[in-house]
Structure 1
Amino acid sequence: MTGVAVAEELLLLAYDDESGKATMPRISLDLGMAAAVLVELALAGRIAYVDGNLAVTDPTPVGEPILDGVLGRMAADTPHSPSSWVQRLRHGLRDRILGDLVERGVVRDVEETELGFIVVHRYPTTDPSVEQDSRRRLAEALAGEQLPDERTAALATLVAVLRMEPALGLDGTAAQDARRRMEEIAGGAGFSGTISLEESVVRPSVALVVTALGQAVDHALGKRV
Structure 2
Amino acid sequence: MTGVALAEELLLLAYDDETGKATMPRISLDLGMAAAVLVELALAGRIAYADGSLAVIDPAPTGEPIADEVLARIAADTPHSPSSWVQRLRHGLRDRILGDLCGRGVVRDIDETELGFIHVHRYPVADASVEADIRRRLAEALTDDQAPDERTAALATLVAVLRMEPALGLAGEDARDARRRLEAIAGGAGFSGNVSLDDSVVRPSIGLVVAALGQAIDAALGKRA
Asked if Structure 1 and Structure 2 have the same fold, meaning a TM-score greater than 0.5 normalized by the shorter chain, the answer is: yes
Which one of 213, 218, 222 corresponds to residue 209 of structure 1?
213
CA contact (8 A) 1:14 1:24 kept: yes
- Unaligned 5+ segments in structure 1 are none
Superposed, 1:44-123 pairs within 5 Å as 44-123=44-123
Distance change in 2, residues 1:194/1:133 (3 Å): same
- Please give the per-residue CA displacement for 1:5-36, whole angstroms capped at 9, x wherever unaligned: 01101100100111101111101010011011
CA contact (8 A) 2:187 2:195 kept: no
CA contact (8 A) 1:194 1:204 kept: no
How many residue pairs align between the two structures?
Answer: 220
Distance change in 2, residues 1:18/1:49 (3 Å): same
**RMSD of aligned residue pairs (Cα, Å):** 1.7
CA contact (8 A) 2:190 2:196 kept: no
Deviation for aligned residue 1:208: 0.5
Deviation for aligned residue 1:214: 2.0
Q: Look up the SS of the partner of 1:85 in the other structure.
A: helix
Code of the residue aligned with 1:208 in structure 2: it is A
Q: Percent identity?
A: 76
Q: Which has the higher contact order (CA 8 A, sep 6+)?
A: 1
Q: Aligned partners of 2:174, 2:149: CA distance in 1, in Å?
A: 23
Poorly superposed stretches of 4+, deviation over 6 Å: 194-199
Query: What is the match of residue 33 of structure 2?
Result: 33
Q: Look up the SS of the partner of 2:13 in the other structure.
A: helix
